[in-house]
Chains A and B, each alone.
Chain A
Amino acid sequence: MGTARLDLKVPTRSFDVEVALDVAAAETVALVGPSGAGKTTVLRAIAGLAKPTSRFVAANGEVWFDSDRSIDRRPEERAVGYVFQEYALFPHLSVERNVGFAGGDPGDLLDRLGIGDLAKAKPTELSGGERQRVALARALARKPHVLLLDEPMAALDPHTRGRVRAELRALLHELGLPSILVTHDFVDAAALADRIAVLVEGRIVQTGTAEELIASPATPFVAELAGGNLLTGNARVRVDGLTEVVLDSGVTIVSTDEANGPVGVVIHPWEIAISRAETADSVQNRLRASIESIVPVGNRRRVRIGPLTAEITAASAERLELKEHELVVAEFKATATRLTRLS
């Protein structure tokens, strides 16, 4: 399967969605952003359900839309595999007939996705995970050149999410199709996609791997989305080459990033250590505040200390005997303190 290429300008009620993206064969790109950012509009325009004013959509060498050459194929003439939000399964048709709607024998696809025994069931009788697989099977029955997934995880229960996410990840790798996934959840995007494009008000503000976005977010929004702590303050480069940031709270911290003027300060929860007393080590930054909450997340504890969220192991939390409302010191190194300019 070949690359899917798009360069689109789609007018919506509040702004124009302008997105240019090349998705390689076997690559999955996640479009991540807040609701109303235009993520679904991009998918709809690729499928021919929304009308762009310019410029082109092509998949596997086939041009589906080209404003210069007045090409605009109808949705039924574009080989897209579209998994709709909430799956949009036909409620009056059995699983088998849903999957067979695009033509062809649904049997193989049902077996391949492990839902062969549900062939006669109606969509209303299925669990969230089963519905997702039916929607995927139906989309694949179209023999698509590009796979479009709109919030495929949103309709799932939290406790099935992890398993379904792993299955979907394996399937996307196995299919070898260019895939575009829309989600508002960075964790889903990081788990499922090779590349993440962050969409805000119709524009891609940053594209990169999950690691890249976490390590060097281009905007405060990307930083917050990627899960880091975000503080704001005023930066000034010191004579020793480090940047000193006076936070809005009045506390001064240092960073190895260079910046002057108003900045967002990003510190990842796992870069923050907690101690009972101020220690004399290489750590440059210390914030003294009381513990607001301690939330268990698997074998870790997310501890809210003043404006920061720290993530430490459950064992450490126990050893320190952390309790809410206690005064502790949050420590993080200057090298772990990322700065993004606020303009």
Chain B
Amino acid sequence: MTAVAAGVAFAFLLLPLVAIFLRVPIGELFHAFGTPVFQDALWVSLKTSLIAHVAVLLFGTPTAYLLARKRFFGRSALITLVELPLVLPPAVAGIALLAAFGRFGLLGDEQDALGISIGFTQTAVILAVAFVESPFYVRGAIAAFEGVDENLISAARTLGAGPWRVFGRIALPLAAGGLGAASALALARGLGEFGATLIFAGSLQGVTQTLPLAIYAQLDEDFNVALAISALFILVGAAILIGLKVFTWARLGSISRFRLVASTSK
């Protein structure tokens, strides 16, 4: 019985993925990669994802460290707040961003005064991507920092290291594995961002049309391009997951080797 259920589940999950590769001939795939729509979308996606991701790492890492290490009133509330975008529909995130940064939003007048407008620009794409992917990173990063032995932090302090040195020399290197994994998952999520971007930034080819938006736009125009982009996403996603697995195995392998050495040398 369980085998049948598992078989149905696997078939259900795999069939659509396989179908994409069966529907589009390899030649068409490369042809699609040459179209302006694809190339524009790829460029927009890479640029916005990269900037958003760097920003998420720069702000998210210290935030996660703080939330992992310090015990203060309201800590749980803050963690819940950070995790909230995880459970929101992307459309809600888009509306929320519009309400805050849109032309008629909370900070609309300030933008007018400065003579700028965020809505429906690449900046909007970056904000949407950062908003949606940051909880993925911060959650993983908190867990990574919490995994660092408190005594090592204390030892570093008694050896004369101030907070920055403790962070840079002890906490960051020891949490690096977990941070890397969280970063990869967040990046993948950011690349796939659709709903919030569509609502907050629109889908303007060459400006705000990212790869997922291009899939949607090409549904009626050229189905093969939509299929090609989808195929690309499957390959990149699989590569990220396999990379993480290999990385984890390598780490666990090296740890168990260390254990063996430690126990035999006693």
B258 touches A124 (CB 8 A): yes
Return chain B residues, CB-CB under 8 Å to A44.
Answer: 154
B158 touches A49 (CB 8 A): yes
A84 touches B160 (CB 8 A): no
| In the bound complex, CA of A48 to CA of B162 (Å) | 13
- What count of chain A residues pass the 8 Å CB interface test? 31
Return chain A residues, CB-CB under 8 Å to B259.
Answer: 124
From A3-11, A72-80, A168-176, A205-213, the one touching the partner chain is A72-80
Return chain A residues, CB-CB under 8 Å to B159.
Answer: 76, 101-102, 138, 141-142
Return chain B residues, CB-CB under 8 Å to A76.
Answer: 157-162
A90 touches B155 (CB 8 A): yes
B170 at the interface (CB under 8 A from A): yes
Q: Interface 1/0s, chain B 225-261, versus A by CB < 8 A?
A: 0000000000000000000000000000000001101
A142 touches B160 (CB 8 A): yes
Given A92-B174, A157-B266, the answer on whether A125 and B258 have CB atoms closer than 8 Å is: yes
Give the residue name and chain of the A residue nearest to B155 (CB): A88
A75 touches B158 (CB 8 A): yes
B262 touches A92 (CB 8 A): no
Return chain A residues, CB-CB under 8 Å to B35.
Answer: none
| In the bound complex, CA of A138 to CA of B152 (Å) | 13
Q: Interface 1/0s, chain A 44-66, versus B by CB < 8 A?
A: 10011100000000000000000
B2 at the interface (CB under 8 A from A): no
Q: Interface 1/0s, chain A 8-37, versus B by CB < 8 A?
A: 000000000000000000000000000000
The majority secondary structure among interface residues of chain B is helix
| In the bound complex, CA of A126 to CA of B161 (Å) | 25
B138 to chain A, nearest CB (A): 23
Return chain B residues, CB-CB under 8 Å to A284.
Answer: none
| In the bound complex, CA of A334 to CA of B265 (Å) | 51
Return chain B residues, CB-CB under 8 Å to A75.
Answer: 154, 157-158
A278 to chain B, nearest CB (A): 50
B130 to chain A, nearest CB (A): 30
A85 at the interface (CB under 8 A from B): yes
Q: Interface 1/0s, chain B 149-186, versus A by CB < 8 A?
A: 10110111111111000000110011000000000000
Interface residues of A in 172-186 (CB under 8 A from B): none
Return chain A residues, CB-CB under 8 Å to B154.
Answer: 44, 47, 49, 75, 82, 84, 88
A258 at the interface (CB under 8 A from B): no
Return chain A residues, CB-CB under 8 Å to B162.
Answer: 76
A103 at the interface (CB under 8 A from B): yes
B256 to chain A, nearest CB (A): 11
Give the residue name and chain of the A residue nearest to B159 (CB): A102
Give the residue name and chain of the B residue nearest to A101 (CB): B159
B64 to chain A, nearest CB (A): 19
B155 touches A124 (CB 8 A): no
Given A92-B174, A127-B266, the answer on whether A82 and B158 have CB atoms closer than 8 Å is: yes
A114 to chain B, nearest CB (A): 16
Q: Give 10 pairs: A residue, B residue, CB < 8 Å, sorted on A.
A: A44-B154, A48-B157, A75-B154, A76-B158, A88-B152, A90-B170, A91-B174, A102-B160, A125-B265, A142-B160
A137 to chain B, nearest CB (A): 12
A178 to chain B, nearest CB (A): 16
